[in-house]
Amino acid sequence: MTVPSRALFALLLAAVVAVSAAVLLPGVSAHPVARSVGGSPTPTPATTPTPSATPTPTATPTPPATPATLPTRTPIRTPSRTATTATGAGTYQWAATDGAVLGSAGTLRRFKVAVEKTVAFPVADFAGAVDATLGDPRSWIADNVRLQRVAGSAAGSDFTIYLASPWTAYDLCRRGGVDIRVNGTPYTSCRAGNSVVINSSRWFNAVPKYGAPLSAYREYVINHEVGHRLGHGHELCPGPGQKAPVMQQQTLSLAGCVAYSWPYADGQRYAGPPGSL
């Protein structure tokens, strides 16, 4: 092929290539599309939306404080020393054992001790109080008499000392012809036949304005009622400010005397003139 022929051939070839390119690539953009390494187009990352501001919660209004409800206080009444049941079943607990012989000379008198079951005082404690009172050298054992508590189951005794509710005490006393009521209420204690009856209301509460401890009143009422069983009658106050004789009706009035629980003082029988209030 000659040089002019080669040149002509080259020109023709260039023209063919140019026409082919124009035919085959008619939609090529001037800005090539980026492709991933694997040939797939790289997705345009989505724009993350800016989160909207979380609304500030509205503060819940605090309700006004409800004033605390205070319990209603019941006025307190000063109680008596111990509440006592006015009535009882008339059944008893008995001291179960014998006590010591109290005193050293004279006739021996045996007694039993009983507490009504509805009276809240242990029979052993009552028996102990009776023994301690009657065994004191200021008590009746200084009067040429001996005393001994025997068990409730014992075959015989000279008398029984009862601690009973007020209306049971009233019933026991009425059997012996003694009315212990004051203003319609069983108030005092008594000796009725072979029964020495201690009213539980007096045992627990003594009497107003007695001017001595409850223990002293208990000693007095035991000595007074046992004194009746031993044959002693009522006595009166010998004078203002003096000791009240044990046989004075101290439960009703001291009549100007001061409370005294014993039939003996300084080794001598202490008594007042005979008489009742």
The pLDDT of residue 110: 98
Domain ranges of the chain: 92-232
> Measuring CA to CA, which residue among 194, 199, 195, 196 is closest to residue 170?
199
The model's pLDDT over 40-94, given as tens digits with 9 standing for 90+, comes to 334 444 444 444 444 444 444 444 444 333 333 333 233 344 555 666 678 999 9
The model's pLDDT over 250-268, given as tens digits with 9 standing for 90+, comes to 999 999 999 999 999 999 9
Residue 30: CB atoms within 10 Å: 4
Confirm if 113 and 149 have CB atoms less than 8 A apart: yes
The pLDDT of residue 90: 86
Residue 24 has pLDDT above 80, yes or no: no
Helical (H) or strand (E) element with 131: helix 123-134
Residue 132: CB atoms within 10 Å: 15
When pLDDT is averaged across residues 18-47 and rounded to a whole number, the result is 38
Q: How many CA atoms lie within 13 A of 237 on its CB side?
A: 19
Residue 118: CB atoms within 10 Å: 18
Confirm if 135 and 100 have CB atoms less than 8 A apart: yes
Q: Report the SS3 class of residue 164.
A: strand
The pLDDT of residue 93: 98
The model's pLDDT over 94-130, given as tens digits with 9 standing for 90+, comes to 999 999 999 999 999 999 999 999 999 999 999 999 9
**pTM for the whole structure:** 0.70
The fold adopted by the segment(s) 92-232 is Collagenase (Catalytic Domain) (3.40.390)
Measure the CA–CA gap between 180 and 174, rounded to whole angstroms: 8
The model's pLDDT over 172-203, given as tens digits with 9 standing for 90+, comes to 999 999 999 999 999 999 999 999 999 999 99
Residue 234 has pLDDT above 50, yes or no: yes
The pLDDT of residue 64: 43
